[in-house]
Amino acid sequence: MTAATHSTLFPRVPDSADAVLEGLDPEQREVATALRGPVCVLAGAGTGKTRAITHRIAYGVRAGILQPASVLAVTFTNRAAGEMRGRLRQLGAGGVQARTFHSAALRQLQYFWPKAVGGSMPRLVDRKAQLVADAAAACRIRLDRGELRDTTAEIEWSKVTQTVPADYPLAAAKAGREAPRDPAEIAQIYTVYEDLKRSRSVIDFEDVLLLTVGVLQDRHDIADQVRSQYQHFVVDEYQDVSPLQQRLLELWLGNRDNLCVVGDASQTIYSFTGATPDHLLDFRTRHPGATVVKLVRDYRSTPQVVHLANGLLAQARGRAADHRLELVSQREPGPEPVYSECTDEPAEAENAARRIRELMDAGVPAAEIAVLFRTNSQSETYEQALADAGVPYQLRGAERFFDRPEVRKASVALRGAARFGGNDSLLDDVVDLPSQVRAVLSGEGWTTEPPAGSGAVRERWESLAALVGLAQDFTAANAGATLADLVAELDERANAQHAPTVQGVTLASLHSAKGLEWDVVFLVGVAEGMMPITYAKTDEQIEEERRLLYVGVTRARRHLHVSWALTRTPGGRPNRRPSRFLNGLRPGSTGGAARSAGGGPGGVERGFTSRPQAAPRRTQRTPARCRVCGRTLTDAGEMKLMRCESCPSDMNEGLYERLRTWRAVQAQRSGQPDFCVFTDRTLVAIAEAEPSDPVQLSRIPGVLKRKLDRYGTDVLAICAGQEPEGGEEGE
């Protein structure tokens, strides 16, 4: 056994089931030991959800409660499934199936196809774009590359939401989707696409789920065989489940309820693919006996980063916001987030590159730094700025700017115009270089105004617009430059960025950064029009943009830099404003009042077996304000005290000490840490308020109903100067 075996890369396998539970916090331990019946884990960013569910599976296996082959753990990416399998092996629980929905369904479909249908299974096509193009051609509809990609996305969305072609126009309108063509044309292409698949004996990615659902619904003998193998299910990232995936999960389960789901409604950022948090938020309704565990201890980020993340969601609206979790950092304090307002986008990129260079010179590894942006089209400016600063970088979840098909095609068009422009009528009436570039790129799809909606068409336009902007910047720096000079500049930039990939600073879109984390994060372009994006019009779309920024903030462990530019290009009119989401959070700004945390603090809610009573009507809570100076409070600790940290305290010191003594006895009797009874801040708030009745006590943040029921009588007795009912030893 080498020394490396003892490193964090090769940890020791726990020698017993109880050893698997070592190192888990109280809530994670609840997840790990709740092995029967439905369990819903509401896990905030950085709270160790993967740790909790892998230890849950491993504990069940090592304790002999679960058979490895009877467990199916489902997640959404191959990377996440691979990580889960690796962790389970390290915990001594090899043999557990950890797969994506599609992988698990494909495996079952391949196995049961001969029995359910007969013959060999149709070929699975990895890319459906060519089939969609053939379907459009059969309908005599011409699609450009962007429209083809967006039409393909619409067909995928229809299938995961179980929308048939005839219902697409109405369903798309109801969902507020921006169709790339007339919805009737999309429905027609969708119909022919399905016909072509049947005639060619092929299936697509979504068909894997649809066909598996069909087999399990129609063949009860096959469904029983699947259910006899898998007795226990775990679903990660449950907020991203589509209606089709939910239906498949229900068929896997049958009439059983050994299901554990894990998710966070505040990280729902893929609704455009059909994902919905409703299944997560309705879990307790579908499973009244469920145990709900809330993980809010954030082990990833410093209190300063967590404070900003909580502040973002404190002003959110909508159903997901009503169930938000207020994170509590478990790390040592770090630096405050840095906010930078720059004159233009190139200056913003140069500012980020300069700060990154300084961090690297101070010893921060490049691999621990990320630059996150809203759209892939923003990457080129940062690629160039980092290259100019000598900073290695890598792109994640996006093609390099000069590798994008539209950029390559535009470069060819510009090169042709530079060589033969004298014979191009498009260039007859233009003289300056930027006008020449705009004229050439207008033939490639560039327009003076961006297209409506999102998706490939918008991204294609943004790539071309970036080339137009580059031409303007190049002309400003090189008076008298020709089109040939610009083409040479483009070639030099492309060659410089085609160097072998190295481990460097990560450049990524916010969507592709989900599930990742870095020591240092630069959130760039955080301005109105980009965050939220211009085509986010409805309240639901705006709130998803807020959640996207929240995901970006919670990627940072220690250093967080937030920036925006007043204009796109140097010398432009400075009419941009920082994102509305930063109002009240960045220095010098004001914003709306914070909302109370709908999800509440961490803890466990036990399920009930009898018929649940009707839920009480939710009352509208007023903004939390300091009872000394009247300022609106957004910090969790200040909200618990109901005053600013800097405002004077009128705490009854003697009462506080009596409460601490009583709390220690309760904690010892229950075998829990002191803070599981009441936190220090809650005791301070009680000692300051000196409540005299249950209503006054219940108004103190941190005194939830279950704690009021359990400890209220004792606390009120102590506040009144009396002994608790059972004395110090009583409960």
What number of other Cβ atoms are within 10 A of residue 569's Cβ? 16
- Specify the 3-state DSSP secondary structure of 457: helix
Under the banding of pLDDT at 50, 70 and 90, the label for residue 646 is: low
Most confident by average pLDDT, 446-450, 517-521, 702-706: 517-521
**Percentage above 70 pLDDT, the chain:** 85
Q: Round the average pLDDT of the chain to a whole number and report it.
A: 83
* Contact residues for 73 (Cβ-Cβ < 8 A; gap 6+): 53, 57, 81, 84, 96, 97, 98, 99, 233, 234, 235, 236
Q: Is residue 621 pLDDT above 90, yes or no?
A: no
To the nearest 10°, report the CA torsion of 513, 635, 335, 353: 40
Of the ranges 6-15, 506-515, 643-652, which one carries the lowest mean pLDDT score? 6-15
Q: State the residue for tokens 């790539």.
A: 463
Is this prediction's pTM over 0.95? Answer: no
Distance, CA of 598 to CA of 320 (rounded, Å): 9
- pLDDT of res. 614: 41
Beta-bridged to residue 41, according to DSSP, are: 262, 293
Q: How confident is the model at residue 510 (pLDDT cuts 50, 70, 90)?
A: very high
Residue 198's pLDDT is what? 92
Average pLDDT over residues 57-71: 92
Contact 265/280 with Cβ under 8 angstroms? yes
Structure confidence by residue, pLDDT tens digits, 324-375: 899 999 999 999 999 999 999 999 999 999 999 999 999 999 889 999 999 8
Residue 602, annotated ligand binder? no
Q: Is the dihedral of CA 28, 29, 32, 33 positive or negative?
A: negative
The per-residue pLDDT for range 442-457, each reduced to its tens digit, is: 888 888 887 765 556 7
- In this predicted model, what pLDDT tens digit does every residue of 400-418 receive, in sequence order? 677 778 888 898 889 888 8
pLDDT given at position 615? 39
The pLDDT of residue 601? 59
Residue range 17-110+210-295, CATH number: 3.40.50.300
H or E segment and range at residue 31: helix 26-33
- pLDDT, average across residues 214-234: 93
What does DSSP assign to residue 3?
G
pLDDT single digits (tens) 151-196: 998 999 999 888 999 999 999 888 888 888 899 999 999 999 999 9
Q: What whole-number distance in Å separates Cα of residue 591 and Cα of residue 612?
A: 39
What residue spans of 34-144 are helical by DSSP H?
Answer: 49-62, 78-90, 101-116, 129-138
Out of 378-387, 701-710, 719-728, give the one with best mean pLDDT: 378-387
What pLDDT is recorded for position 54?
Answer: 93
pLDDT at 633 over 60: no
- Is 5 annotated in a binding site? The answer is no
For 695, half-sphere exposure in the C-beta direction (CA atoms, 13 angstrom radius) is 0
* pLDDT value at residue 540: 87
pLDDT band at 235 (very low <50, low <70, confident <90, very high): very high
For 196-228, the DSSP string reads: HHHHHTEE-HHHHHHHHHHHHHH-HHHHHHHHH
| pLDDT of 4 | 31
pLDDT digits (tens, 9 = 90+) for 543-553: 999 999 999 99
Strand order in the sheet with 556-565: 338-342, 556-565, 518-523, 369-373, 505-509, 393-396
329-398+503-582 CATH:
3.40.50.300
Which residue from 725, 695, 696 is spatially nearest to 711, judged by alpha carbons? 725
Q: Is the pLDDT of residue 422 over 80?
A: no
Return the DSSP state at 12. P
Q: Which residue has the higher pLDDT, 9 or 166?
A: 166
pLDDT of residue 730: 39
Q: Which CATH architecture has domain 651-720?
A: Orthogonal Bundle (1.10)
- Alpha carbons 176 and 189: distance in angstroms, whole number: 20
* Residue 622: pLDDT over 60: no
Tell whether residue 47 is among the known ligand binding residues.
yes
66 has pLDDT over 50: yes
- Choose between 149 and 608: higher pLDDT: 149
Q: Per residue in 14-29, pLDDT tens?
A: 878 888 888 899 999 9
Q: What is the pLDDT of residue 642?
A: 65
Would you say 48 is a known binding-site residue?
yes
Residue 271 host element (H or E): none
For residue 44, pLDDT beyond 50: yes
Cα end-to-end span (Å), the chain: 51
Task: Kindly state the tokens that stand for 613.
Answer: 């009573």
Mean predicted confidence (pLDDT) in 250-261: 92
Q: Residue 237 is which amino acid?
A: E
pLDDT at residue 155, as a whole number: 93
User: Identity (one letter) of the amino acid at 328?
Assistant: V
Asked if 145 contacts 130 with a C-beta cutoff of 8 angstroms, the reply is no
Q: What is the pLDDT of residues 262-286, one digit of tens each?
A: 999 889 888 877 888 889 999 988 9
**Is 115 within any annotated ligand binding site?**
no
Residue 498, pLDDT > 60, answer no
Q: Are 260 and 233 in contact (CB under 8 A)?
A: yes
pLDDT of residue 332: 94
Q: Is 466 annotated as a binding residue?
A: no
- Over residues 88-98, the pLDDT tens digits come to 888 888 888 88
Please indicate whether residue 681 or residue 351 has the higher confidence score (pLDDT).
351
pLDDT at 573 > cutoff 70: yes
The residues, any chain, with a CB within 8 Å of residue 189's CB and separated by 6 or more, are 132, 135, 136, 139, 141, 151, 155
- The token duo for 87 is 């962790």
**At 369, phi and psi to the nearest 5?**
-125, 140
* Of 86, 81, 26, 88, the residue nearest 55 (C-alpha): 88
Confidence of residue 641 (pLDDT cuts 50, 70, 90): low
Residue 354 burial (CB count, 10 A) = 13
